[in-house]
Structure 1
Amino acid sequence: MSVLAPAAGEVVELMLEVPQGQVLEYNLPALCSALDIADPTRIAVETDGLRRAIVTIYPSNPLAEVRAVTAEDLVMDRHGRIAVGVYHNGRTVKRRLYDPATGSAQRFLLFGTTGAGKSRTLQLELAAEKRNGIVSWVCDLKNGQSVPEARDNVDWFGTTPEEAILMLRAAVNVAQERMERYSRLGRTAFIRDAPDPLHHLRIEEANRLLEKGAPYREEATYLIRELGRTGRSVGEGIGLSAQASHLEELGGSDTLRAMLKEGEVTLLRWSSSMMRQLVSDGLLPATAQLMPIPKSLRNVELRSQFAIDADDDEEDAPGTQGMAYLLSGPHPTAMMRHFRIGSIAPTPGLDPEILALYGDDAPPTLEDASHDAAGEAYAARHDPVKMAMLCQAVYDEAQEEEDKRPAGKAGKSYSPAKPPRAAAPRIIDRVRAALANASAPMSAEDVLAAVLADGGKEVRPGSVRNALLELVNGDTDVVRADRGLYTIDR
């Protein structure tokens, strides 16, 4: 095959077809070699899975730069979809958060290696959930570091495997309560906001909870599977973000994987062995191939090993964070890239651009009718001390079960390094608690004395004053009773 060299800046599109009775197969490196393309990220191949393919050749990678996401992108359309990025051909990529045609909540699966953009992609979806009135529960198993901006922008934010178990138990109970309530009403499907809100539970770094040897793997797999089975018709969605797609990384459950494959599956940069797993699991047809996503868009240039460079430092090349394949979309083999989320350079604290994307409104919360079903853990979700006690109880339960297991019997491995640590209450929470326990307005000095007496870590006067200002100026019930005096507006 010979192809005329395109003019500078020109896009070339080739329509290929094999004879009837044959199935189109191709080798990506060989195709790049035949087309004399040194940079494989300039080429895009899409097939119909049978005889035909479209090969598009770009003068440079069309996804090297994408615009920032906007609040308007995150508003669901009439089909329950949000705009999350662009395909290589410039068309908008849409991901479904809800299916209004069937009343079904969605299941979400997000794969990618370290640095591929999982955390930013999850931030985009969480911001969209908040803006669309969806109740979000998030357990960030990277100790809260993956999506720290979500902490005050979701209904329930956790950081430990024990909290993940508490969330899953509560979500399954809420699904059961909704089923019973809808049954009494004669409802066979979920109707958004009539009157209950859509509810999603997300687990970031889910492989830490579900991989072989994880202490809560058995129960977590059961609960996720149960929520996936019962939640769709009552507005309960489940989403996992994980490092790999191997079955053993997701609880070793064929049933679990089968349910998640019916949902929204996004593949960011992957490991070398993942393609075979995707095909064998049915996420891709056997004839499909995906162009690998490199770590950066640096072109490989062969130079003499004896060449003397004026500067040995490599030039910075654009990264590929956010590049992905939406395997559940209409174009599973078309490379796309998510809109830019957050600041380009790292920030010393919470990212202001991500916070702006979430907006200033309070996060949606679970309906009152399901509070009892959600239980004690849901009621304690903003109380670090009570939550630590509940997490300790989960830990103790698991330890007791492991102690009962006969020596040498095959089963789940339980070898936690140490019990869960109680999360240290934030200064702002300690200040508010001091005001809530007071019978009269307090000065900053009074608040400082109460905080120093609560048994927590020692704080400075300036930290207490900053917390008071944040509470008064924020959307809270703390007000100035008089000059220099603060109280709870009961």
Structure 2
Amino acid sequence: MSAVMTTPDPGQVYEFTAEVPQGQVIRYDLAALCSALNINDPTRIAVETDGLRRAMITVYPSNPLAQVRAVTREDLVMDRHGRIVIGVYHNGRPVKKRLFDPSTGSAQRHLVFGTTGAGKSRVVHLELAAEKINGFVSWLADLKFGQSVPEAEEHVDWPVRTQEGAVLMTMAAVAVAQDRMRRYAAAGRSAFVLGVDPLLNVTLDEANRALERGAPYRDLMTHLIKELGRTGRSVGVGVRLSAQAAHLEELGGSDTLRAMLKEGEVTLLRWSGSMMRQLVADGLLPAGEQLMPIPKTLAPRELRSQFDPAADDDDDAPGTQGMGYLLSGPRPTAMMRHLRVGSIAPLAGKDPEILALYGPGEPARLEELSAEADGENIGLIAYHLRHDPVAFQALCDQFREIYQQKPGHGGGGQHAGGAVDDGPEESADRPRKVLVEDRVRAVLAAADAPMSADEVLAAVNSDGGKQVSGGTVRNKLSALVDSGAAVQPGRGLYAPVR
């Protein structure tokens, strides 16, 4: 293959496949691949694998995603499958994301991950605009005090900016889901039908601020979002989290919450180098799959003499905001880029292009709730006060005072607003004891390939915990195999069941 690519035509696109023998899993090293193909700009290469033996390698004359067109309102109208067009893949084909599943009547759970500056806020704008265009009721908690997506506030049914507002909003969403469950059961309905009630989506932008260790209402918010995940999907109440990282501690320390959300629509923008192993370990990316890294800019790396005056030039290069992977889509390893949302240059005020995307008119409003739901639930009281800033702030202050007086600041037991918490799975105050089996599982899950018992032992003893013996690790490995949690793909090798 390297002979074919030694002197490529700079205007041509090259595509070829690679395959490993049966019984092996294909893996690649990006730097080695670029070296073999005589390419010094890795952003020109797109690699997709089938997760097993084959890979498709495409080499472009320049990065095909350096420029993308602006999104239009037509892109955001749902098709008959409940999907909207959010971007383009590297081959120019549209990227479609599901907002609603008409075949099951299910609201969706959304995760948007990425580092600072990766474009998360523009993705949130794109999807909130789609919700308004399609008649969804949008509730938005912008936990950067409203600074993250300011244009959205007048185009959603309920915007909040504070931690207390986010808690009350999520309480209200749970109350809506429970009210719909009661009404649907009485009517003999087993599923949500779009058009009978409006679909409600709750968006938590900068969700890590509410769910990370040390957040003031972490346990309560974790419980409420778990409750939405359990009950909201079948009654038309969805949830979207936009967060800085995919680490468990960023999502309330809850395996249950993480498992529910990763079954939804998962978008990964530019990530840090340590996240790839975490993605595989958490099941957000299948074992054996790899993603091409996304640089901060598309500037090619050039080796210049240290005495070359041009080496000091600071030429601008296109950024990579909006580039990413739709991990829940049919092509999870295909790099894509979201359609452009708003102005490229920073503006002193609200962006007129984003406001135009939302369009004129009022956003959709929530249906009238039953008297049983609308009685004493503090979240729904907050909803009715959303247009009265003074009264709403007073209610937030009252909630904060009541919450701070509770033992443990909202651990297990009865929460304000009537929601019953089953207690945190793990918290800073009451950490679960980490067993040797947990450590062995973690090592296997984080590995890129099957491991021998000696390799597992070395990794366990380097994880910062208490030192263990080889016999203990081998016993735990055997127990995991016997329980079906691990397999032996080869003699003396161990791997987790994905």
User: TM (normalized to structure 2)?
Assistant: 0.80
Name the count of aligned residue pairs.
Answer: 408
Q: Which residue of 2 aligns with 1:486?
A: none
Question: For each residue in 1:461-488, what CA deviation from the matched residue of structure 2 results, as whole angstroms up to 9, or x when unmatched?
Answer: xxxxxxxxxxxxxxxxxxxxxxxxxxxx
Task: Sort the Cα spacing of 1:171 and 1:412 in 2 relative to 1 into closer, same or farther, 3 A.
Answer: farther
SS of aligned partner of 1:149: helix
Contact 1:172 1:227 in 2 (8 A): yes
Q: Which residue of 2 aligns with 1:315?
A: 315
- Quote the Cα distance in structure 2 between the aligned partners of 1:168 and 1:287: 37
1:17-166 equivalences under 5 Å are: 17-166=19-168
SS of aligned partner of 2:66: coil
Task: Sort the Cα spacing of 1:19 and 1:366 in 2 relative to 1 into closer, same or farther, 3 A.
Answer: same
Q: Which residue of 2 aligns with 1:210?
A: 211
Task: Sort the Cα spacing of 1:312 and 1:29 in 2 relative to 1 into closer, same or farther, 3 A.
Answer: closer
Contact 2:403 2:410 in 1 (8 A): no
Q: Which amino acid aligns with 1:150?
A: A
- Quote the Cα distance in structure 1 between the aligned partners of 2:286 and 2:56: 17
Q: Which residue of 1 aligns with 2:488?
A: none
Q: Which residue of 2 aligns with 1:275?
A: 276
TM superposition shift of 1:323: 0.3
Q: CA RMSD in A?
A: 1.6
Contact 1:218 1:412 in 2 (8 A): no
Q: Which residue of 2 aligns with 1:391?
A: 396
1:227-238 equivalences under 5 Å are: 227-238=228-239
Structure showing greater radius of gyration is 1
SS of aligned partner of 2:279: helix
Contact 1:151 1:157 in 2 (8 A): yes
Q: Which amino acid aligns with 2:27?
A: E
Question: For each residue in 1:328-351, what CA deviation from the matched residue of structure 2 results, as whole angstroms up to 9, or x when unmatched?
Answer: 000000000000000121121110
TM superposition shift of 1:411: 5.4
Question: For each residue in 1:97-126, what CA deviation from the matched residue of structure 2 results, as whole angstroms up to 9, or x when unmatched?
Answer: 000000000000000111000000100000
TM superposition shift of 1:8: 2.5
TM superposition shift of 1:403: 7.0
Q: Which residue of 1 aligns with 2:198?
A: 197
Q: Which residue of 2 aligns with 1:449?
A: none
Contact 2:109 2:240 in 1 (8 A): yes
Task: Sort the Cα spacing of 1:403 and 1:267 in 2 relative to 1 into closer, same or farther, 3 A.
Answer: closer
Q: Which residue of 2 aligns with 1:436?
A: none
- Quote the Cα distance in structure 1 between the aligned partners of 2:410 and 2:134: 46
TM superposition shift of 1:75: 0.1
Contact 1:119 1:146 in 2 (8 A): yes
The unaligned stretches of length 5 or more in structure 2 are 412-425, 430-498
Contact 1:215 1:398 in 2 (8 A): no
SS of aligned partner of 2:110: strand
- Quote the Cα distance in structure 2 between the aligned partners of 1:93 and 1:231: 26
- Quote the Cα distance in structure 1 between the aligned partners of 2:92 and 2:408: 57
1:350-365 equivalences under 5 Å are: 350-365=350-365
1:432-471 equivalences under 5 Å are: none
SS of aligned partner of 1:177: helix
Q: Which residue of 1 aligns with 2:324?
A: 324
Q: Which residue of 2 aligns with 1:13?
A: 15
TM superposition shift of 1:405: 9.7
Contact 1:217 1:412 in 2 (8 A): no
Q: Which amino acid aligns with 1:381?
A: R
- Quote the Cα distance in structure 2 between the aligned partners of 1:403 and 1:240: 26
Task: Sort the Cα spacing of 1:8 and 1:404 in 2 relative to 1 into closer, same or farther, 3 A.
Answer: closer
Q: Which amino acid aligns with 2:326?
A: L
Q: Which residue of 1 aligns with 2:335?
A: 335
Task: Sort the Cα spacing of 1:332 and 1:385 in 2 relative to 1 into closer, same or farther, 3 A.
Answer: same
SS of aligned partner of 1:218: helix
TM superposition shift of 1:23: 1.6
Contact 1:69 1:341 in 2 (8 A): yes
Task: Sort the Cα spacing of 1:330 and 1:218 in 2 relative to 1 into closer, same or farther, 3 A.
Answer: same
Task: Sort the Cα spacing of 1:132 and 1:220 in 2 relative to 1 into closer, same or farther, 3 A.
Answer: same
Q: Which amino acid aligns with 1:340?
A: R
Contact 1:190 1:235 in 2 (8 A): yes
TM superposition shift of 1:394: 2.0
- Quote the Cα distance in structure 1 between the aligned partners of 2:303 and 2:277: 31
- Quote the Cα distance in structure 1 between the aligned partners of 2:127 and 2:112: 11
Task: Sort the Cα spacing of 1:230 and 1:148 in 2 relative to 1 into closer, same or farther, 3 A.
Answer: same
SS of aligned partner of 2:258: helix
Q: Which amino acid aligns with 2:18?
A: L
Q: Which residue of 1 aligns with 2:249?
A: 248
TM superposition shift of 1:21: 1.9
- Quote the Cα distance in structure 1 between the aligned partners of 2:99 and 2:182: 24
Q: Which amino acid aligns with 2:392?
A: M
Question: For each residue in 1:140-163, what CA deviation from the matched residue of structure 2 results, as whole angstroms up to 9, or x when unmatched?
Answer: 000101100011100000000000
Task: Sort the Cα spacing of 1:324 and 1:296 in 2 relative to 1 into closer, same or farther, 3 A.
Answer: same
Contact 2:219 2:410 in 1 (8 A): no
Q: Which residue of 1 aligns with 2:439?
A: none
SS of aligned partner of 2:144: coil
Q: Which residue of 2 aligns with 1:484?
A: none
- Quote the Cα distance in structure 1 between the aligned partners of 2:34 and 2:428: 47
1:377-388 equivalences under 5 Å are: 377-388=382-393
Q: Which amino acid aligns with 2:317?
A: A
- Quote the Cα distance in structure 2 between the aligned partners of 1:412 and 1:65: 45
Q: Which amino acid aligns with 1:95?
A: K
TM superposition shift of 1:177: 0.2
Q: Which amino acid aligns with 2:354?
A: I
Q: Which residue of 2 aligns with 1:168?
A: 170
Task: Sort the Cα spacing of 1:404 and 1:332 in 2 relative to 1 into closer, same or farther, 3 A.
Answer: closer
- Quote the Cα distance in structure 1 between the aligned partners of 2:221 and 2:428: 12
The unaligned stretches of length 5 or more in structure 1 are 414-490
Question: For each residue in 1:342-367, what CA deviation from the matched residue of structure 2 results, as whole angstroms up to 9, or x when unmatched?
Answer: 01211211100000000111000100
Q: Which amino acid aligns with 1:390?
A: L
Contact 2:176 2:369 in 1 (8 A): no
SS of aligned partner of 1:368: coil
Moved more, 25-34 or 147-156: 25-34
- Quote the Cα distance in structure 2 between the aligned partners of 1:323 and 1:382: 37
Q: Which residue of 2 aligns with 1:419?
A: none
